[in-house]
Amino acid sequence: MNITVVGTGYVGLVVGACFAENGNTVICVDKDAAKVRALQKGKIPIYEPGLEELVTRNRQEGRLTFTTTLPRAVRSSQVIFIAVGTPEAEDGSADLQHVLGVARDVARAMNGYKVVVDKSTVPVGTAEKVREAIRRETTHPFSVVSNPEFLKQGAAVDDFLRPDRVVIGADDPRGAEVMRELYAPFTRTGAPIMVMDTPSAELCKYAANAMLATRISFMNEVAHVCEQYGANVDEVRRAVASDKRIGAAFLFPGCGYGGSCFPKDVKAILKFSKDKGYAFKILEAVEQVNALQKQLLVGKMQRHFGSLKGKTIGVWGLAFKPRTDDMREAPAITIISALLEQGAKVQAYDPEATDVARKHFGSKVSYARKSYEALVDADALALVTEWNEFREPDFARMRKLMKAPVVFDGRNIYNPQQMKAHGFTYFSIGR
């Protein structure tokens, strides 16, 4: 099939490259000319494992091209995916200006039947708005389909190529049939293609993300109770997770969830529920708990040091999670901002997110090129993102480099007894 994907961010680029990998001809469109120029030269603007090989191969095979010009792409495509950002507006709702703007531009370029797919995460009712926006601009026939994306950054290519399920919201059979055909190669292993009405499809994505955020905040609250009673949250978590009705995923306590999805999607579902007069009480608490959780590590540091003024804190991990360079809503932002505000000096290291951090903090933070460099003369280490390379460090070397052997572990990746044996004063979460 000939496909256009509008928006070449973390989602659009993966979607475009993966459809091309299955033999489709894909044109990726982005309004960011610098990004498109880089992609045309084979440079990938983000870090996502496996993506570069996929883009390079499909570009060389001529199945994947990049442009800033939407109309030509639309005219040559049967299916157009909208994968642009839906950032949080001031009132917490998802800002739909990019999605609706693209819908109008697509409509103006139509030259026959097209399937227009909402791939961006959009509130319930958006498919109807997109349909209306297109109808005002064209007399050509079209279908609007909602196809929320469940990929995880850091494992996005694999998630897209081998999905747990594909959700398709379609209000007419023609659009649904095109989507079934398009996704058939991705679901040979038996993953279901779930076809439903568009409001249900739109809500699926928010309900899934809100559930995952709830599990995280729930376990963070359990960790607080553990601390009060001297229980160990690791033991509690393992026992809870072994219950087949519960399962192990997303039950790790830590210094808060971040990223471009959970915080924004929880806010959006709160807002569109409230718009209909319903206060989504659990999610209000999920959000509050997460906001407090992001401040937890700095609170522990304050209690340990008294004042953080003049202290040097090494920070390991800046990205909101491992295997990405994305720092949107990352706990590291809250933590580093609080440290700087209180007069501490920050020496930070991240395997992939340093350039992004530099745009955020400029010269207020010093950036280490190697993990151990961030520890030189540090009064403490704050571990914020659990990259694999931090899991088995050389503790003797760490102790030698640091001014004092103090570790604040925001992801519980070290063993408290071992840390004590290595001579560290060690703080973690819920243990």
Q: Are strands 25-29 and 2-6 parallel, antiparallel or unpaired?
A: parallel
Shorter beta-carbon distance to ligand NAD: residue 32 or 373: 32
- Cα-only R_g, the chain: 23
Shorter beta-carbon distance to ligand NAD: residue 106 or 378: 106
Task: Please name the residue that has the structure tokens 């792409």.
Answer: 73
Among 4, 58, 93, 121, binds ligand NAD (CB under 6 A): 121
Can residue 102 be called a binding residue for ligand NAD (CB under 6 A)? Answer: yes
* Footprint (CB under 6 A) of ligand NAD, residues 208-267: 260-261
Can residue 10 be called a binding residue for ligand NAD (CB under 6 A)? Answer: yes
Rounded-to-integer distance, Cα 362 and Cα 377, Å = 22
Can residue 8 be called a binding residue for ligand NAD (CB under 6 A)? Answer: yes
Give residues with Cβ within 8 angstroms of 386, minimum separation 6. 254, 317, 321, 322, 411, 413
Q: Which single residue brings its beta carbon nearest to ligand NAD?
A: 9
Whole-number minimum distance, CB 263 to ligand NAD, in Å?
Answer: 11
Where does this chain touch ligand NAD (CB under 6 A) — which range of 8-16, 226-234, 331-339, 355-363? 8-16
CA dihedral 331, 363, 312, 414 (to 10 degrees): 40
Shorter beta-carbon distance to ligand NAD: residue 46 or 176: 46
Among 24, 77, 93, 120, binds ligand NAD (CB under 6 A): 120
Can residue 101 be called a binding residue for ligand NAD (CB under 6 A)? Answer: yes
Can residue 35 be called a binding residue for ligand NAD (CB under 6 A)? Answer: yes
Q: Is 204 a catalytic residue?
A: no
Whole-number minimum distance, CB 238 to ligand NAD, in Å?
Answer: 28
Among 115, 151, 226, 353, binds ligand NAD (CB under 6 A): 151
Shorter beta-carbon distance to ligand NAD: residue 30 or 386: 30
Among 83, 212, 332, 429, binds ligand NAD (CB under 6 A): 83
Q: Could you give the C-alpha distances from 274 to 92, 210, 271, in angstroms and in order?
A: 11, 15, 5
Residue 6: strand, helix, or coil: strand
Contact 390, 383 (CB under 8 A): yes
Residue 335: strand, helix, or coil: helix
Whole-number minimum distance, CB 269 to ligand NAD, in Å?
Answer: 12
Whole-number minimum distance, CB 149 to ligand NAD, in Å?
Answer: 4
The first and second tokens of residue 17, run together, are: 């490259």
Shorter beta-carbon distance to ligand NAD: residue 77 or 312: 77
Task: Please name the residue that has the structure tokens 């568009």.
Answer: 198
N- to C-terminal Cα distance for the chain? 54
Contact 149, 84 (CB under 8 A): no
Among 75, 98, 271, 304, binds ligand NAD (CB under 6 A): 98
* Footprint (CB under 6 A) of ligand NAD, residues 130-149: 149
Can residue 9 be called a binding residue for ligand NAD (CB under 6 A)? Answer: yes
Rounded-to-integer distance, Cα 217 and Cα 381, Å = 24
Rounded-to-integer distance, Cα 93 and Cα 132, Å = 20
Measure CA 1 to chain center.
29
HSE-CB at 263 with a 13 A cutoff on CA atoms is 20
Can residue 85 be called a binding residue for ligand NAD (CB under 6 A)? Answer: yes
Can residue 48 be called a binding residue for ligand NAD (CB under 6 A)? Answer: no
Shorter beta-carbon distance to ligand NAD: residue 10 or 390: 10
Q: Which residues pair with 281 in a beta bridge?
A: none
Shorter beta-carbon distance to ligand NAD: residue 121 or 290: 121
Shorter beta-carbon distance to ligand NAD: residue 6 or 213: 6
Choosing from 28, 204, 226, 261, the catalytic residue is 261
Q: Which long-range contacts (CB under 8 A, 24 or more apart) does 154-158 make?
A: 154/48, 154/49, 154/321, 154/322, 154/323, 154/324, 155/49, 155/323, 156/10, 156/11, 156/14, 156/48, 156/51, 157/14, 157/17, 157/18, 157/48, 157/49, 157/50, 157/51, 157/54, 158/50
Where does this chain touch ligand NAD (CB under 6 A) — which range of 29-37, 210-218, 310-318, 405-413? 29-37
Among 24, 25, 86, 147, binds ligand NAD (CB under 6 A): 86
The residue count for binding ligand NAD (CB under 6 A) is 26
Among 18, 27, 29, 203, binds ligand NAD (CB under 6 A): 29
Q: Active-site residue numbers?
A: 261
Q: Which residues bind ligand NAD (CB under 6 A)?
A: 6-12, 29-32, 35, 83-86, 98, 101-102, 120-121, 149, 151, 153, 260-261
